[in-house]
Each structure stands twice: as C-alpha cells, then as structure tokens.
Structure 1
Amino acid sequence: MELDFNYLFGIGEDTLTWWQMSLRAIGVFFAALLIVRVGNQRVFGKNTAFDIILGVVFGSILSRAITGNSPFWPTLASALVLVLLHRGLATIAYHTSGRFGDFLKGRPVQLVKNGELQHDALQKYSMTENDLMEALRTHSKHPDISTIETAYLERNGEISIIIKKG
C-alpha cells in the first residue's frame, strides 16, 4: 500500500510525471481545503494585510508540494502550521486590545470629518480626492464631499462613508 502511494504521488523520486503532479494537485487541493477549515472562515474572507500575507505564503507553500520542490508531507504540515499561527494570532488580537491588534490588523483612518477633507491622512495614505470621490459615487446618490459626515479608509483598504442626515 505504501509503495503504491509513493509511486502514485512520486514520493522519493527525482522527477515527477504529469500524472503524479496532477494527483498531487488533487491531494493538495483537498488537504488545503481541510487545513483552511481548521483555521476558520476569516482566513480568506477579509482582505486585511494580515489575511493577504497568509494567502500569498499559503499558496506558495502548497505549490511546492504540487511541483515536488519540497517534500510532500512536511510541506503540508508547514501549511497547517501557518494557518494555525494565523488563527492563534487572530485569537490573541481579539482578546487583547491596543498596539498588537492594530499591528496585526491595522486601524481605520478618518479621511473626512464633518464634510472636510483630512489632508494629512489623505497624503499619508497616498489617497487623492479623486479616490474619495470614486468611493462617494459608489456609496451615495449625492457625490459631494460636503454631504459626508465622516469617511474612513478601513483596515481592509475599502473606503466607508457616512452621509450627513437631513
């Protein structure tokens, strides 16, 4: 049985055939699905820098398992460790407040306050008035900055806008 598995997945061989890489891809797909389920829905559900970095590194690690550039089982184990690290850090950030959570997940930045642009914030985050106007047109029927009560650059990179009442 072990010999068949090793032969099918090309374990211990120098060169992988197209069908061994294909079987590895199928195996890695289901292993990745299981590993992500061990994490939680947040792992790839939001696009904070914290989550994006996990996605990039996770994909890079798993690609090595498919192409045979790294040993199969240790590579899958390292992917699992990475997802568990993400989950652990997210849990710590949830239970603590302050700089650690802000470092991991970022902080929202106020771009408009009472209808007035916060030029320092726009400049610091390389946002133009045109970027803000685009978000306003997307979220409002009245694309005028004076109608904005407040606008934030959120942790996931989106701009949220609250329109003045009345």
Structure 2
Amino acid sequence: MDMLRTLIGPDNGDASALQLCARAVILFLVGIAYIRIAGRRTFSQASPLDIVVALVVGSNLSRAMTGKAPFWPALAATLLLVVLHRVFAMLTIRWGWLAKLMKAEPVVLLRDGVEDHKAMASHGIGHADLLEGLRLEQVERPEDAHLATLENNGRISVVRRGSAA
C-alpha cells in the first residue's frame, strides 16, 4: 500500500507531475475497463477509448482550473492521456486483437427476420429496442430485415431483405 501511495502521491493536491501521470495511466486503464463492463449502449456514440479520454480530460482541466490540483502537473497528466489516446487509436489500426479489446465486435441481433434473443439479452437489447432500431432504418417489421446488427458505437444497423447480395 505504501508503494501505491508513493506512486500516485497524496490526495491533498500536492502530487508531483510524475505522480499525476501515474494516476492518469491508472485512470485510463480503469476507465476503459469500467466502460467495457457497463456495455456499449451506455455511451452509444463513442468508443470506450474516446469516452475515457473525454471524461478524464474534462475532469483534469476542471481541477486545474479550480485549483484543486496543481496547474502544471494536471496539464502534464492530461497531455499524457491525450497522447495515450492517440497512440492506442493508431495501435488499434495496426493490431486487430487490440482493436477487438478496445472497440469490441459487432453483434448480430436479427438474421432473416429471426431475432437472436441470447445475443440481445447479453447486450441489454429488448424487443422494443430492436423494433426502434428497425424503425430508425425505415424497416417496419423484423420479417422485413435481412440483418440487424448492434454496432461498436451502440447503434443498430439494418440491411433490408432484398438488399443483401
């Protein structure tokens, strides 16, 4: 416990730039894990990576602005997060396994008009949610859809019957 306290510094606003950077890395990793646990529908239009960066950057800047954290160390930690975001975004392009870890895979909710109730339940999608997603794509009934997929951004994409190759 003493080693962790040395790594992240005191909670009274006296942490060094290096300690705030260590906190930033810890918050980054924990934030990704929490958002993955919450599920993609919780923050539907952004990836977990984007959400963590937006939340922590906003929080860090707020703390620096109000004096609840030392100004320059808070900015250094925030810069580290932004750089980590950029590096992880670039690495996900290069390494598919990392992209899967950070962004997840699309999930088929409906195929040829038949709902996959197991997939829907595991992602918190009810029948009404699926119908809403279909309506947003101008599809009136599940039978009119060839495919409905829960995408990485939390939206449901739909391929109408007759549109499939």
The TM-score with structure 2 as length reference comes to 0.69
Greater relative CO (CA pairs within 8 A, separation 6+): 2
Matches of 1:149 and 1:107 in 2, distance apart? 19
Identity %: 36
Secondary structure class of the residue paired with 1:85: helix
Residue 20 of structure 2: aligned partner: none
Residue 144 of structure 2: aligned partner: 147
Secondary structure class of the residue paired with 1:55: helix
Query: C-alpha deviations, 1:16-72, integer Å up to 9, x for none?
Result: xxxxxxxxxxxxxxxxxxxxxxxxxxxxxx511221111111111111111001111
Whether 1:77 aligns to 2:76 is yes
After TM superposition, give the deviation of residue 109 of structure 1 in Å. 0.6
Whether 1:164 aligns to 2:156 is no
Which residues of structure 2 form unaligned runs of 5+? 1-44
Query: C-alpha deviations, 1:75-125, integer Å up to 9, x for none?
Result: 111111101001101111110112x21111121111011111011100101
Report how many residues are paired.
Answer: 119
Residue 94 of structure 1: aligned partner: 93
Q: Which has the larger radius of gyration?
A: 1
Secondary structure class of the residue paired with 1:155: coil
Matches of 2:103 and 2:53 in 1, distance apart? 12
Matches of 1:71 and 1:60 in 2, distance apart? 13
The TM-score with structure 1 as length reference comes to 0.68
Which residues of structure 1 form unaligned runs of 5+? 1-45
